Amino acid sequence: MTDTAIDRTAPDFKDELGASLGIVRTLYMDAGKGRAAIECEAQMRMCHSGGVVQGGFVTGWIDAAMARAAMAATDFKFSPMSLEIKISFFRPAAPGLLTATGWIERRGRSTMFLEGDLRDAAGEILAKGSSTVRLLPRIDA
């Protein structure tokens, strides 16, 4: 992804929710392609069973990346409200930096079908997700 594809006018997503999830930064949001990626820091406080990140964090990271893709594609005028979400776990996530990517698979007028994945620093896919969302006008837009 080139610097020109990064939407630097997007809302600042640094908030308490993102901090509690361990989201470090948004890597990019490409409205034209309907894609976004975030960098997350998995910490031991998020783990169980000897250093395995709890699945809710993995789900949250993929969900956050998919939401950014949807919001960027709607010029941040809509919030994607999850109707359903499915996550498939392939490998355990361990503490360290991870990347979650989300993209729009299909878009209707008020519904989007999103997909995403989570990768470790070596690029290995740890989990994949899909979600159906309803687009609601943002209150703060």
pLDDT reported for residue 3? 40
Task: State what percent of residues in the chain have pLDDT above 70.
Answer: 89
Residues facing residue 130 across a β-bridge = 86, 115
The single-letter DSSP state of residue 11 is P
**Chain position carrying tokens 């698979």:** 105
- What are the tens digits of pLDDT across the range 4-51? 344 444 455 567 888 889 999 999 999 999 999 999 999 999 999 889
CATH code for the part of the protein at 16-137 = 3.10.129.10
Q: How far is CA 33 from CA 73, 78, 133, 138, in A?
A: 8, 17, 18, 21
> What element of type H or E holds 67?
helix 55-73
Phi, psi of 89, deg, nearest 5: -100, 125
pLDDT reported for residue 141? 55
> What element of type H or E holds 62?
helix 55-73
Q: Where are the domains of the chain?
A: 16-137
36: closest CA among 67, 81, 15? 67
- What are the tens digits of pLDDT across the range 48-72? 988 999 999 999 999 999 999 999 9
Contacts of 86 (CB under 8 A, 6+ apart): 129, 130, 131
